[in-house]
Amino acid sequence: MSSHAGAGAIDHHHDPSTTTGIPNKKLFMWAFLASDCMFFGVLISTHLIYRLHPPAGTPDVKEVFSLELTSFSTFILLMSSLLMALAVNAIQKGNVKTTRTTLLGTIFFGLIFLGCQVYEFNHFVHAYDVTLSNSVFGSTFYVLTGTHGCHVAIGVLWLVLMYIRTFKPVHADSGQPWLIKSTAHLLVFTVSIVLTMYVLLGYVHVAEVDGLNFGTLGSFIGSQFLVIGATLVTYGILRWFARPPAQVEFGEQNAMDVEGMGLYWHFVDIVWIVIFTVVYLLEFI
Amino acid sequence: MEATVKTDFIGKEEHPTADKRTWIFTRPTAKTGIVSWLTTVDHKRIGMLYGISALFFFLVGGFEALLIRIQLAVPNNTFLSAQLYNEMFTMHATTMIFLAVMPLSAAFFNYMMPLQIGARDVAFPRLNGFAFWVFLAGAIILNVGWFVKSGAPDIGWFGYAPLTSTAYSNQFAGDMSTDLWIIGLQILGVSSIVGSLNFIVTIINMRAPGMTMMRLPVFTWMTLFTAFLIILSFPAITIALVELMMDRNFSTNFFEVSGGGLPVLWQHLFWVFGHPEVYILILPAMGIISEILPTFSRKPLFGYPIVVFSGATIGFLGFGVWSHHMFTTGMGTIATAAFALATMAIAVPTGVKIFNWIGTLWGGHLMMRTPMLFALGFVWMFMFGGFSGIMHAAAPADAQQQDSYFVVAHFHYVLIGGSIFALLAGIHYWFPLIFGRKVSEFWGKLSFWVIFVGFNVTFFPMHFLGLNGMPRRTFTYDGNMGWNSANMVATVGALVLGVGMFIYFAVMVYTYFRGEKSGRDPWDGRTLEWSIPHPPPEHNFDVTPNVHARDAFWYEKHHQAEIAREKAEQAKQDEAHGGIHMPSQSWFPIITAAGMLTGALFFTNHIMIGAIAGLAIVFVSAWLWSLEGPGGYHLHPGQDHPDDHSKSGAKH
Amino acid sequence: MSHSDRPFTKIHRIAATLLAAILVPLLGGWTQGPQSTFDTKGPVALSQLNLFYVTLWVTGIIFVLVAGVLTYATLKFKARTSADEHAEPPAQSHGNPLIELSLIAASVLALVVIAIPTLKAIWYTHDIPEDQQHLAYEVTATGYQWWFKFDYPAEQIDGVGTLSTANELVIPAGRPVRVNLRTVDVIHSFWVPKLAGKVDMIPNRGNFLWLQADEPGYFWGQCAEFCGESHAVMRFRVIALGEEDFANWVAAQKAAARTVDAPPPGTPIGTQLVSYEPMRPNAPGWTPEFDADPLASWTQLQEPADNEDAALIARGRQHFQEKACITCHTVRGHEGVGITGPELTHFGSRSTLAAGLLENTPRNLHRWLTAPNEVKPGNLMWFGRAMPGYMVRNAETGEWEQNFTVNDEEGHALVAYLNSLK
């Protein structure tokens, strides 16, 4: 970092260059989250207003919702928040390695949550015929939870970019090789995510239709051999990208970047708790 | 002293690694020419860009207004067709609110607020540039309709559902005017929110040493309140627009009557945004007036804490009165009564400001210069607008006034007599600071009186038109309704107002090229922005100022020895930290905004590939933006040359 | 003239100017007109006007006080000479909490003066007072782009249903009337300024208002919420009748359409058909003669004209079928069965056409029928929505093409037929 920070440890709770001591990025994130609260507030209000005045043709919501699935995905999202907090903690101690693993864990749990949401949407459309356009309930529900899903997806993207950044070598600065390498890393990561989701959701579908046993697993692997193979290859490439690098630039001085991302992630998590309560749980009271 | 080390360049030393940078991340360094403007991160230049665009759209909106008045000059006129008239009043309102008054306020926020708090730039300079370019993208999208077959938006500026649904606005094949309106406003919302987040962080975190919150100039306070209002109210309209967009493009049922949607919900969502929006338009104006009146009275603002807290109260209550725009929607007695009382309550903090302005004049030495005339004109006209506002708060009386020309008169008294007068005053007031030249007093005062008379002749008769039963948004009326003479008077007034505006701007342009040099501090100013050379240098302050009192510059002028000592010491400190840190310019803000413009235009034409491509541009350039880092270089005022620019742009 | 006289004359001049500024509008009739909210004809509008006067007085008094102080301060403390401007700055005082707090308290008090009558009026204007409920007469007004339909649930016609009419709401005078407000498309607003303030007609929302005309009369009304291209010309009338007149009117309206016996086939058209000058778009459709005593003019229209041409009327009835009029308009007892356009069973007894836009004269009606889009831009008789109108949309190009026209002569026949429907 800078010559002026001297040899002393970095104080993560006070930034001497600002009037209040709060880092600019943190203050920005807090203000943004206040604004984002209003976005969700409006969407949730819209949903609740139509739940209070349900027009004719509203589906039986209790039948449609599966509390087990949603409780599971809520738990997963909560756990991802825990991992996120561990990542912030690790980077504040300068522990880049732990930061990487916890970031990966957060990404993984975030993806499980998204997978559950894709499954849920798909299930609602096919099993209960609740679509975006055939009822007000469908419109408000999908747009609200979809907007939340977009927030999670953006969070995952951010996490992936942060994860990739932890491999940036010292003094690479923004040179061409690093730019190309990080772009490739991002592309592979994206492809890997899409393939994994495809395979897992595909198998969940098969298992639902034909039952969960070795036979269906075998035939699924047989029929999706190429895709599964490609997925494994992307894992290999990702492992190669993640080989222990020389000295990296990423370190304790980036704690604020991780913390800002953490604030966002926790916020998205809290919003989900609210959605889970007022959109799902309230229906069963 | 702890405060003196609170400078913004600790820990931002650059590494000499410029040679390793790829061409993508080469920072532009031009200080003049077109590239310097396209890539600028200087808050003053961004302020100027806002100002120039806002004034351009102000003239466009004014031209639309004149066409409207010509159509209404006589009964049964055929100057404009019904369709064109509807487009005209929709775009007049949208333009004036979102493309003229808001960005003109933003221009002053950008230019003046950092100077007033003794900062060298805003907290996130590149984001600031981004906010402007996004604003321009939104403005272009809103106005594209004039040049294509489907025409400009024609649903009124508050676009009440279900008139905005495809069933009623797609009578002609491929009518995308409503889509342009939806996307344009959403993009303007992005710009406003991003800009406001930046201002909030700047005001809270970038103040000069000693500049406590209760020493902030009132204009800066109002900037802060406005920014909070924007970040908390724009989500409501953005989500409402998203829902409407989903209805139009993906057949959802948010406001779709046949699917069980409630059109009245749109009104609630719109006005939850729309009423704070009114204060977003007027609070900056109040801030400007609270700067001008003390300066030209040569004494401090009367009751500073009350003015500040009344601003906060207005902002807070502003979120609880939205339904007074909906007194005629049949809300029932309880809701109507609650919103009527809340609306009356908000008149108290507004009235308090007027009392304090008069208190400021009391016992002063009033220098009747042009900015002062506009400021006094503001106080008078805003009072009128406030009184008709109280009449609207009496809900049963409002049942006769709502959607009539009485409302038109009311909000023009508040928005022209209020916001515009204050902004025109602000331009006059700060012109010498920005350009180092002073507008001729004779021409300035002449333009004021022509504008003042023209404005009143235009809008005062409208009170009578409204009470005489003339509804707003009507392209024609019959000659037997008793509206003829008042309409003719209003049109004549509008032409006078147009002449006044012409004089005003012609004089400004003349002054820019040929005006008398003003010298430093021509008005005997009280706040920090007057302490620097006119026009200000790129780094604003040679030495970080230390603030000792509320009217910081006034204090400096009356404690010169103390301040000189302090400045010398501070200059040494600054130099010891490596000089003044300046942010590097960047291409990515404008590229990201261009991506949004491209995507949005394709989306409104239902070319999804193009829309996705636009989104991809946004994503890639935002990513590169984050990779290039904030960058920066150092200036050493007092020495001749800044650091070599080729070394600039290193990430810390 | 001595120097001391000058300020005096100056003040006089200012006062005279102010007085003129107030009087000219008043004398110039800026408060008088068919839709004036000052000239109220019923209790609801009166209550709203009285409240307006309360707000006017309170704000007026505050204005005089504040403006007086402001003017005094401006004149008293103005720097008049260059020496004034360069004098030592005045005392740098920062405010006076006592003054500020008392001013806040005073403004709160002033608002209470407004708030109390406001609350009273909110409850009074919201619904018919309890003790008059039993007198209430109920009608339902429905907004269409761009006209009003009026249903009378109290008046049932055997085998048909509710009595329905369009654009002219006839009500009993001296009785409270409850108007249910509905819409079939976008938001409209029902506003008869002399009788009551407006209430919106909002889809999926059951609004209502109440009004009362104290005396028989003829009142102008207008849609007050922007509702699309022809919002400005979406107007209507309210006609209040005495008890007996109202009963007669209801009885006449309940009857099926009046039929003028068709002449033997081959009877020539006797009337000399006038050739009308073309009218420019947006031309006025009112006459001072009608406005002189509108209620009397309206009453005259209730009786059939004595110079009817049976052959022409028969021709018109034929065109009414051929030109697709019957698919959208009802003429009860005749061929028309459509419900998407205004009911025309007793069209001839109405004083206006095209939703209160034009006085019901043969020339105006002829123009409306031959060139609807010039009278009311974008109207659905021209473009059609459920059914094609004069124009039809080409499915391939999306462009509008002519579906049918009504020529000069057909127009005359239709005018004769429609006006025979008393």
pLDDT tens digits along B243-293: 999 999 898 999 999 888 999 999 999 999 999 999 999 999 999 999 999
C17 touches chain B (CB under 8 A): no
Contact B383 C66 (CB under 8 A): yes
How far is Cα B643 from Cα B648, in angstroms, rounded to an integer?
8
Residues of B in contact with C399 (CB under 8 A): 173
> Beta strands of B341-490 (E only): which ranges?
437-438
Q: Which residues of B are catalytic?
A: 92, 121, 157, 191-192, 275, 277, 279, 290, 324-325, 350, 353, 472
Q: Which residues of chain B lie closer than 8 angstroms to A49, CB-CB?
A: 262, 265
Residues in B closer than 8 angstroms to A4, CB to CB, are 10-11, 13, 577
Does A2 contact B at CB distance below 8 Å? yes
Q: Is the pLDDT of residue B16 over 80?
A: no
How many CB atoms sit inside 10 A of residue B314's CB? 25
Residues 357-396, chain C, touching B (beta carbon < 8 A): 377-378, 383, 393
Question: Are B201 and A28 in contact (CB < 8 Å)?
Answer: yes
Task: Pick the more confident residue, A220 or B422.
Answer: B422
| Gap between the Cα atoms of B118 and B454, Å rounded | 39
What are the tokens at B260? 């069980």
Write down the pLDDT at residue B84.
93
pLDDT of residue C88: 81
Q: What residues of chain B lie within 8 A of the CB of C224, using their CB?
A: 328, 402-404, 471
> Is B265 within 8 Å of chain A by CB?
yes
Quote the minimal CA–CA distance from B579 to chain A in Å: 14
Q: Does B242 touch chain A (CB under 8 A)?
A: yes
Region B615-622: what's the mean pLDDT?
94
* pLDDT for residue C179 is more than 80: yes
Per-residue confidence (pLDDT) for residue B577, from 0 to 100? 78
State whether A18 and B236 contact (CB < 8 Å): no
For chain A, strand residue ranges (E) read: none
Q: How distant is the Cα of A169 from the closest Cα of chain B, in angstroms? A: 13
Query: For residue C384, which residues of chain B lie inside 8 Å, CB to CB?
Result: none
The β-bridge relationship of strands C177-183 and C137-144 is parallel
Chains in contact with A, where contact means 3 or more Cβ–Cβ distances below 8 Å, are B
CA distances from B626 to B95, B329, B586, C119, C124 (A): 33, 48, 11, 57, 62
Query: Is A53 within 8 Å of chain B by CB?
Result: yes
Query: In the predicted model, what is the mean pLDDT of residues B176-183?
Result: 92
Q: Is A158 on the interface with B (CB under 8 A)?
A: no
Please tell me if residue A17 touches chain B, with a CB cutoff of 8 Å: yes
**Nearest Cα residue in chain B from C200:** B329
Residues of B in contact with C33 (CB under 8 A): 468-469, 481-483
Give the pLDDT of residue B133: 97
Whether B436 contacts B415, CB under 8 Å:
no
Higher pLDDT, B310 or B9: B310
Q: What is the band of B644 on the pLDDT scale with cuts at 50, 70, 90?
A: very low
Nearest to B235 among A38, A54, A58 (CB): A38
Cα B28 to Cα A159, B33, B100, B185, B537: the distances in Å are 30, 12, 30, 31, 19
C-interface mutation test, from B169, B464, B484, B550, most C Cβ less than 10 A away: B464
CA distance C14 to C24: 15
- As a whole number, mean pLDDT of residues C141-159 equals 94
Contact state of B262 with A41 under an 8 Å Cβ cutoff:
no
| All partners of chain C with 3 or more CB pairs under 8 angstroms | B
Q: C-alpha B212: how far from its chain's center?
A: 25
CA dihedral (A154, A155, A157, A161) in degrees, to 10, reads 140
* Record: contact B330-C36, CB cut-off 8 A: no
Tokens read off for B482:
């008793």
Q: What is the pLDDT of residue B172?
A: 55
- Say if CB B419 and CB B101 are below 8 A apart: yes
Interface A-B, measured as beta-carbon pairs within 8 A, has a size of 161
At residue A224, the pLDDT reads 86
Judge: C230–B345 Cβ closer than 8 Å, yes or no. Answer: no
Q: Which site among A35, A164, A180, A261 would you substitute to test the B interface, given the most B Cβ atoms closer than 10 Å to its Cβ? A: A35
B251 has a chain A CB within 8 A of its CB? yes
In chain C, residues with a C-beta closer than 8 Å to the C-beta of B162 are: 185-187, 203
Partner B contacted by A24 (CB < 8 A):
yes
CB-nearest to C280 from B78, B345, B362 is B78
Collapsing DSSP to helix, strand or coil, B601 comes out as: helix
pLDDT at C26 over 80: no
Helices (H), B170-261: 177-205, 218-250
Q: What does the pLDDT read at residue A173?
A: 55
A257 touches chain B (CB under 8 A): no
Residues in chain A: 285
- Rounded to two decimals, the ipTM of the complex is 0.92
Distance from CA of B207 to the nearest CA of A (A): 6
Instruction: Of B234, B45, B23, give the one whose Cα is nearest residue B128.
Output: B45
Mean pLDDT of C12-33: 75
A248 contacts chain B (CB < 8 A): no
Mean pLDDT (chain C) is 90
List CB contacts (< 8 A) between B399 and chain C.
Answer: 48, 125, 196-199
**How much is the average pLDDT of B558-578?**
86
Chain A residues in contact with B253 by the CB 8 A cut-off are: 133, 135-136, 138-139
Q: Round to whole Å and give the CA distance between B234 and A71.
A: 32
pLDDT-based confidence at residue B413 (cuts at 50, 70, 90): very high
Share of chain B above pLDDT 90, in %: 79
**Three-state DSSP class for residue B517:** strand
Q: Which residues of B touch A55 (CB under 8 A)?
A: 259-261
Per-residue pLDDT tens digits for B446-480: 999 999 999 999 999 999 999 999 999 999 999 99
C196 interfacial to chain B (CB closer than 8 Å): yes
Listed in sequence order, the residues at least 6 apart from C422 whose beta carbon sits closer than 8 Å to its beta carbon are C252, C258, C301, C302, C303, C304, C346, C348, C349
Question: Residue C125 is nearest to which of B345, B396, B478, comparing CB atoms?
Answer: B396
Element (H, E) at B130: helix B125-144
Minimal Cβ distance to B7: which of A17, A53, A54: A17
**Nearest CA distance, C157 vs chain B (angstrom):** 30
Residue C295 has pLDDT above 90, yes or no: yes
Q: What is the pTM of this model?
A: 0.93
In angstroms, the Cα distances linking C336 to B323, B634, C164, C316, C321 are 44, 85, 14, 13, 8
Distances (CA, A) of B239 to A50, B68, B243: 16, 31, 6
Which residues of chain C are within 8 Å of residue B290 when distances are taken between CB atoms? none
Taking an 8 Å cut-off on Cβ atoms, the answer to whether B211 and A19 are in contact is yes
Instruction: Tell me: pLDDT of B487 over 50.
Output: yes
Picking from B79, B177, B328 by the largest number of C CB atoms within 10 A of its own CB, the best residue to mutate is: B328
pLDDT in tens, A68-105: 999 999 999 999 999 999 999 999 998 999 999 999 99
Of the pLDDT bands very low, low, confident and very high (cuts 50, 70, 90), residue C397 is confident
A170 touches chain B (CB under 8 A): no
Confidence of residue C263 (pLDDT cuts 50, 70, 90): confident
Nearest residue to C392 (alpha-carbon basis) of C405, C409, C375, C410: C405
3-state secondary structure chain C: CCCCHHHHHHHHHHHHHHHHHHHHHHHCCCCCCCCCCCCCCCHHHHHHHHHHHHHHHHHHHHHHHHHHHHHHHHHHHECCCHHHHCCCCCCCCCCCHHHHHHHHHHHHHHHHHHHHHHHHHHHHHHCCCHHHHHHCEEEEEEEECCEEEEEEEEEEECCCEEEEEECEEEEECCCCEEEEEEECCCCEEEEECCCEEEEEECCCCCEEEEECCCCCEEEEEEECCCCCCCHHHCEEEEEEECHHHHHHHHHHHHCCCCCCCCCCCCCCCCCCCCCCCCCCCCCCCCCHHHHHCHHHHHHHCCCCCCCCCHHHHHHHHHHHHHCCHHHCCECCCCCCECCCCCCCCCHHHCCEECCCCEECCHHHHHHHHHCHHHHCCCCHHHHECCCECCEEECCCCCCEEECCCCCHHHHHHHHHHHHHCC
CB contact under 8 A, B391 and C122: no
